[in-house]
Structure 1
Amino acid sequence: MNHEGVNDMSRTLIRFPKGIPGFEGYFQYHLMEEENSLLTQLLSAEDVHARFIIVRPQIFFPDYLSTVDLGQEEAELLEVTPDDKLEVWAILTLCQQDMQKTTINLRAPIVINRRTGKGAQFILSKDSLLSRQPLFSELETDCNEGTMEGVVG
């Protein structure tokens, strides 16, 4: 699948064995990373309309990684070995009228094992983690018009 405007980025193919919740029919995604950028794109190799903006949540929430604990089932899905360094990402919901109202999904991180080329989105059981956590501050986030639920298209 051809994605225009992404030639200046490094591209890594990641397989999501169970898909991404809400997008279970798509299993292959390109992780598009631009040097010196906080934001990364996750683009479906199977449908140009399944596109996500993701970020490493620990950049904005330094203690976040301590809340992500993979269970046995998740570790097996990603084929984790003791030497693997897993990457944790989170999907952003962009507010087109006011970028200050952008939110991050801390409740369901995307975890990637680059060694195996596998990824998965897991829903964490911690009630304190929000699926629409304000990214920049504790701003009011009633952004309904122009909201893109992590999907850019």
Structure 2
Amino acid sequence: MTPPVGVSNANIMEDALKLTVSHLGEIDVAESEILNATVPVPGFPDSHRYFFIERDKIKPFKWLQSADDPNLTFVVVEPHYFFHDYKPKFGAFDLKEIGLGPGEKPVLYAIVVLPEDLTKMTANMRGPLIVNPAGKLFKQVFIETDRWSVRESIIEGIKRKEKAALQDKKKGPQPEHKNAGTT
């Protein structure tokens, strides 16, 4: 196995990579944790292999670290944490490209921009990452809609989510309705 491009001090161990990444130092990554980009993330043509780094202190955010470039890390988050009404549709081609069939759903992640003033943090909701965790494949897709932007305010998303939750709470439990014509 060849060491990842751009990682000068990668030592390949049994089914694991020892990588030195800029923000964490030396870490071991199991080969089974590596996700392969079916198409490189735009702007990063030489990075094809990535893995998630989870830390309690940054939840629900994760780092998506390139195994090919120790200096390339994205902050990502599953959109449902902040955007209750985010339900994008994907083409069959995109799903097939990451190894998903009809009726199978990908895990979604939005790439987050963290400015100095964290109240201005944004998520790219127009270009989510769709992930097939079992197949270890992912890609970034672009949704053609005016509803979502590439710089969607996370704070505004939280406010909308809280407002929707309050409205649902005010409505109270909804009675169950039987469909007409069923037995």
Among 72, 83, 92, the alignment partner of 2:92 is 72
Residue 53 (structure 1) shift: 0.2
Unaligned runs of 5+ in 1: 139-153
Aligned residues: 135
Identity of aligned residues (%): 25
| Structure 2 portions without partners, runs of 5+ | 1-18, 158-183
Structure with a larger share of its residues in helix: 2
Q: Quick one: distance in 2 between partners of 1:6 and 1:54?
A: 21
CA RMSD of aligned residues (A): 2.5
- How far apart, in 2, do the equivalents of 1:87 and 1:6 lie? 28
Shift of 1:137: 2.4
CA displacement, residues 25-79 of structure 1 (integer Å, 9 cap, x when unaligned): 2100011123571110001001112110000111101110x2x212121012101
Structure-2-length-normalised TM-score: 0.66
Instruction: State whether residues 12 and 32 of structure 1, in contact with CA within 8 Å, keep that contact through their aligned partners in structure 2.
Output: no
Q: Does structure 1 residue 123 correspond to structure 2 residue 145?
A: no
Aligned to 2:73: 51
Q: Secondary structure at the match of 1:136?
A: helix
Deviation sequence 1:99-145 (CA, Å, 0-9, x none): 1011111010001101100011001001221000111128xxxxxxx
Moved over 3 A (4+): 82-85
Give the letter aligned to residue 42 of structure 1.
L
| 2:39 aligned with 1:2 | no
Change (3 A) 1:72 1:85: closer
Task: Identify the residue that residue 24 of structure 1 maps to in structure 2.
Answer: 45
